[in-house]
Chains A and B, each alone.
Chain A
């Protein structure tokens, strides 16, 4: 085919398309023009949207975390309303008659348009109004769905809440999915999984007559309900341990080591997400925002704190892996450490000193001097490297926003303060003080990695099918190093000199590391990071109490209560290897 033939073909395409277009225009405008003109004239098409019910959020056993409940709103059509009923109605609604009168006489855009008198009244009240229907003319109840969080103030942080779309968001988003009055997830799980929870709104396109009555349905689509979402959290277990937190600002996390499922993720004080969904709760919302204990902050994943002695696990691993220490290396603890004969003293928490200390003893008694020495030997670069290997200072993939924490380095300090790194800072770094900041979730993952001899679990808030094989990756550290550290952690609880004895149980061996992180001028933060059972680690548990005092006392005590609750719920008949020593009680051990 030569060029001129091709041009001819090209022309035919143009002719063909143009003719097609003109013919379709003719069909639309001339042949069916009358039909469309009638449809357009009175513009008798109405859209009746029907919102898709939002998916429920459930706990791992199918208990409700979030659902939808009917809300009853009272409306009055002023034209039909008889003022004689005013006293009866206002008494039922718990309002002043004048209040109702004022609402009824508000000017409206259009006649016969009903006015909302009260939003979201109790079901009983709604029933009473319905029962008196013949006498209360013009008064009617309208029902719609409202998001409801039945556990009120539990896991508000994880769940988040939903809110009306803002004008700016509406402009940006796809109008096929979001309407002007759509709700969308505003935090936590509600936000992350908004797309699958929301489903697809439906509705009808109907033709109406001049009086607005429906003539026929032109097109209809059923709403597609949102998908339910099962979380990994264990509602029963969380409810059990809530009383032990009382007035504390604390966070408790527990993870299944095989699947990475988080069974507990509590940040206390919590907030009630219903407050953000229900109307007339402005006062409550302002109280939450202004509260000094900051209940809206999820301490478990967004709060960053110094890890204190828990960080000694990292220092120990760095020492073993770099070959600077072995299990037999000892250092002399006289109650303090000096970089050089004339420099300042770095104190041990035990003023009299621990004497000759090896790794196991150092972990068991949380000897600062031992780890000052190890930190000094391995240097800040290695501390940084192994902290990152254990997941600190790095983003942690989880379904809700989380903080990276902070692991300092000399470059970081140079950028931030334009100052060099001092050796003394390495000494503080080695015991988790100074610039180091971690989230409780990061500490949970750190003990999990140790418990699993270097396998890194991926924490998740979603329920994992028990049959799935969860892919794991492994750190480059040696298994023997982890085994040794685990033995030290066992001694923390089981030895009679251990700092975490208070958590000792009579039915199973728990391994842990306590931390009492200095946070002047306030009391120190209490940490307790553990895994259990020791012989075959299945769960990791972290308790953190903000400015709670000693980790070995406050945090260990809560951890023990959590473990007892766990046993009562799930392991009453399970037989574990017994501990070497009987458990201790707070009264007998000052």
Chain B
């Protein structure tokens, strides 16, 4: 037991469990007026997530990396399955319904892709075949990217891009390649535009011009901004947020959970949460710096970018500095798949920290 608990990165563990526990405050506030009981379900999911976390820590990240191609294939299969038989809500087919809960495979696929990319990139050093490594890596990302875009789930799909770039960067891709990738991406944007569904185009348009859809997404964008903004310095107090309580903001227990935080706990609350996330991500980077295993570095880079951009885009969309896309706030939003994935990811980092001194 002592052997096992040795080298656990306790600050990360307590920080993430703390954020996850605080989320119950927000989820309760967002849903206590409804009839469904989200709290019990989320508590159950937190248990599952913690079991998953310890499992990763005990087994060690190397075993998972060795099996990463298997996980990758499995998650791609799930994505195909969801496109064929998935459950549709609000025009998007994202869930596989299994008895009493609904699984969102795109969440798990993010992690599987990070694993497979880390395994793939670390097999090749940065001195050999930069172009080929990049192209193969891009292919590995492209498959889930397109499948998720088809659901359609623009937000989750877009997250793959900073993930890939972050990992390539830490792996050691030449800067001029990174810049040219960026330019190619920029020029291909107009083409990508036409592959989007009309409602996704509309959401992006609303981001640029709030008058594009005053009754639909434009209304959501405005109401969520009012929610966060009306929180002011110290907020309206727990359970006293009028915007979210009266259902002006949709999905306020999942994607728009930050509205509850912003409205009821104000700028102080928001700042505190952002800072907590910054600490968490800071520790992630520290772990990345200290490990000598190339695979682990790249893996840590992927997970760090995933957390960073998911948090930034999610909070950004509630205050109108990022387009509205359906992604969750890690550790905080209601939803089992998201919570379990977040803890699995943190488990990998803790495991990297624990096994860093083997060499």
Instruction: List chain A positions with a Cβ less than 8 A from chain B.
Output: 1, 3-4, 6-7, 9-11, 13-14, 17-18, 20-22, 24-26, 28-30, 32-37, 39-41, 43, 45, 47, 49, 171-177, 201-205, 218-221
Contacts and interface: CB of A to CB of B under 8 A. Distances in A.
15 contacts: A3-B172, A10-B285, A18-B274, A25-B270, A33-B233, A37-B229, A40-B229, A41-B230, A43-B246, A174-B92, A175-B90, A177-B198, A205-B218, A219-B214, A220-B211
B83 to A, nearest CB: 15
Interface in B147-194: 166, 169-170, 172, 175
B211 A173 contact: no
Q: Which of B170, B175, B226, B301 has the most CB of A within 10 A?
A: B226
Interface string B323-359: 0000000000000000000000000000000000000
B257 interface: no
B243 A171 contact: no
B248 interface: yes
B282 interface: yes
A33 B268 CA distance: 13
Interface of B: 88-92, 166, 169-170, 172, 175, 198-199, 202, 210-219, 222-223, 225-233, 242-243, 246, 248, 262, 266-267, 270-271, 274, 277-278, 281-282, 285, 288-289, 297, 301, 304, 308-309, 312, 315-316, 319-321
B266 A29 contact: yes
Nearest to B87: A172
Contacts of A34: 232
B199 A221 contact: no
B309 to A, nearest CB: 8
A67 B350 CA distance: 66
Given A26-B267, A43-B246, A176-B202, A3 B297 contact: yes
A384 to B, nearest CB: 32
A6 B219 contact: no
A174 B199 CA distance: 8
B214 A25 contact: no
Contacts of A221: 211-215
Nearest to B91: A174
List 9 tightest A-B contacts by C-beta distance, closest first: A36-B229, A174-B91, A219-B214, A176-B216, A40-B230, A205-B214, A33-B232, A37-B230, A29-B267
Contact of B278 (A18, A24, A218): A18
Nearest to A32: B229
A501 to B, nearest CB: 56
Given A171-B89, A173-B90, A219-B210, A24 B321 contact: yes
Contacts of A43: 242-243, 246, 248
A205 B215 contact: yes
A33 B219 CA distance: 18
B108 to A, nearest CB: 24
The majority secondary structure among interface residues of chain B is: helix
Given A33-B232, A39-B230, A40-B242, A176 B274 contact: no
B262 A29 contact: yes
Contacts of A172: 88-91
A455 B186 CA distance: 48
A6 B229 contact: no
A218 B225 CA distance: 14
Contacts of A204: 214
B178 to A, nearest CB: 10
Q: Which of B92, B166, B319 has the most CB of A within 10 A?
A: B319
A220 B214 contact: yes
Contacts, number: 159
B242 A25 contact: no
Contacts of A40: 226-227, 229-230, 242-243
Given A21-B312, A39-B226, A43-B246, A177 B212 contact: no
Q: Which of B212, B232, B309 has the most CB of A within 10 A?
A: B232
B170 A7 contact: yes
A1 B215 contact: no
Contacts of B89: 171-172
A276 B262 CA distance: 48
Contacts of B271: 22, 25
A33 B231 contact: yes
Given A3-B170, A175-B91, A221-B212, 18 more contacts: A3-B297, A6-B169, A7-B288, A10-B169, A10-B285, A25-B270, A28-B225, A28-B319, A29-B270, A30-B233, A45-B223, A176-B213, A176-B216, A203-B214, A204-B214, A219-B222, A220-B211, A221-B211
Q: Which of B231, B262, B285, B304 has the most CB of A within 10 A?
A: B231
Contacts of B210: 219
A171 B320 CA distance: 26
Contacts of A201: 215
Contacts of A176: 199, 202, 213, 216-217
A11 B285 contact: yes
B301 A10 contact: yes
Contacts of A171: 89-90
Contacts of A13: 308
A202 B218 CA distance: 12
Given A4-B289, A36-B225, A177 B199 contact: yes
A18 B92 CA distance: 31
B213 A14 contact: no
B321 A205 contact: no
B242 A21 contact: no
Contacts of A35: 229
Contacts of B214: 47, 203-205, 218-221
